[in-house]
Amino acid sequence: MNKALLIVDVQNDFCEGGSLEVKNSLDIIPVINKLIDKFKQLSYPVIATKDWHPSNHKSFASVSGGRIGELGELNGIPQIWWPDHCIQGTKGAELHPDLNTVDTVIHKGSDPEVDSYSGFFSASGKPTLLEEVLKKQKVDTLYIVGLATDYCVKFTVLDALSLGYKVIVIKDGCQGVNINPEDSKLAFFKMKEKGAEIISSTKLEI
Ligand code: VGL
Ligand code: ZN
């Protein structure tokens, strides 16, 4: 069996200067780049997810008429309204230019009717290509980093655990949105409670 590095949504719109910027997000890039180099050296797959919304995505406050950061409902599912972000084909949707090259990119969030924080499934349960890619490469252990700790990283980790993967979250390779100041702390707590190992990159042994 095999290990893989999974990098969640390190896209321009989530980095400093982006439309949904995560504070201190650029700090994680050198940490992730070291991991990319290490995994590649060992011939382990390096996979990145991309939030990949059409411009009429209904999680956008501008489309649904909600207020940014407030909780509403989208097709019967609780939904936070976001600024327009990661629109397909735009600069904001590209992986950050300082990020080293990855092997595979998985797109999510393309259906305008439903959000998809997790790299595995949309909020309505429709799978992305991620599990198929991991199965093909016989991956059973995922090392997960990226943006944002309290949304896409958290939901990706929880789905990975439900699917039976061993999950190690590298905490200095993650950064959170923190609409509420404790959100990232709570997210790490929840991921750990569900079975993820949370480590610092300096403690990584692969
Ligand atoms: C994300 C909010 C909306 C994320 C994506 O990547 O964490 N957050 N879409
Ligand atoms: Zn999004």
Taking CB atoms and a 6 Å cutoff, what residues make up the pocket around ligand 1? 9, 14, 51, 82, 117, 147-148, 151-152
Q: How sure is the predictor about 97, in pLDDT bands with cuts at 50, 70 and 90? A: very high
Give the mean pLDDT of the chain: 97
Q: What is the ipTM of this complex?
A: 0.98
Provide the percentage of residues in the chain whose pLDDT is more than 70. 100
Q: Which two tokens stand for residue 131?
A: 């599990």
In angstroms, what CA-CA distances link 55 with 58, 87, 177, 179?
9, 6, 22, 23
CATH match for 3-55+84-203 among 3.30.1050.10, 3.30.750.24, 3.40.50.850, 3.40.50.150: 3.40.50.850
Strands (E), 11-165: 46-51, 71-74, 77-80, 104-108, 139-147
Question: Which ligand number lies closest to the CA of residue 53?
Answer: 2
Give the ligand whose atoms come closest to the C-alpha of residue 82.
Answer: 1
Instruction: For residue 150, give the ligand 1 atom closest to its CA.
Output: 7
Per-residue pLDDT band at 171 (split at 50, 70, 90): very high
CA of 92 to the centre of ligand 2 (A): 11
Give the model confidence (pLDDT) of 116-168 as tens digits.
999 999 999 999 999 999 999 999 999 999 999 999 999 999 999 999 999 99
Q: Could you tell me if 156 and 118 are in contact, meaning their C-beta atoms sit under 8 angstroms apart? A: yes
Residue with tokens 């991620």: 130
Does the pTM surpass 0.80? The reply is: yes
The whole-number pLDDT of residue 1 equals 76
β-strand pairing of 71-74 with 77-80: antiparallel
Catalytic residue check, 9: yes
Atom of ligand 1 nearest to the CA of 53: 9
List alpha helices for 6-67, DSSP H.
Answer: 28-41, 61-64
**Ion ligand 2 residues within 5 Å by Cβ:** 51
pLDDT of residue 92: 98
